[in-house]
Amino acid sequence: MTIKVYEENGTTVIAPEGKIDHITVKDFESQMDALCEQHDTLTLDMAGVEYVSSAALRAILNAHDLLEGKNGLVLKNVNKKVMEIFNITGFADYLDIR
């Protein structure tokens, strides 16, 4: 997995590519935590993400909670396979997915 971080329209975007699973989640979570500490809004661009494990879901939920009361976490470009995981777990009802 690789992770790109960039600015888009005044918002910080984190764009992981590959699988976010028990092997890669530590890098993903540390990047997300650091960005959540530095910013009030964060966009998670899921276009390059092929799979999310339960560990990835926990990391996304943690970032959501860290940004609660601020401008929050927005997910975009979620593919059909990952969206199915969000729907099954109930995350689709909880997260701001565009």
For 85, phi then psi, to 5°, come to -65, -45
pLDDT of residue 11: 95
From the CB of residue 78, how many other CB atoms can be counted at a distance below 10 Å? 21
Q: Please name the CATH architecture into which domain 2-97 falls.
A: 2-Layer Sandwich (3.30)
Dihedral Cα 75, 80, 85, 90, nearest 10 deg: 60
Both structure tokens of 15: 């764009």
Predicted confidence (pLDDT) per residue in 69-89, tens digit = 999 999 999 999 999 999 999
Quote the pTM value: 0.94
pLDDT of residue 93: 95
User: Any alpha helices (H) in the chain, and if so which ranges?
Assistant: 25-38, 54-66, 80-89, 91-94
pLDDT of residue 17: 97
pLDDT of residue 72: 95
From the CB of residue 71, how many other CB atoms can be counted at a distance below 10 Å? 11
Looking at residue 41, what DSSP letter applies? Answer: E
Domain ranges of the chain: 2-97
Predicted confidence (pLDDT) per residue in 8-47, tens digit = 999 999 999 999 999 999 999 999 999 999 999 999 999 9
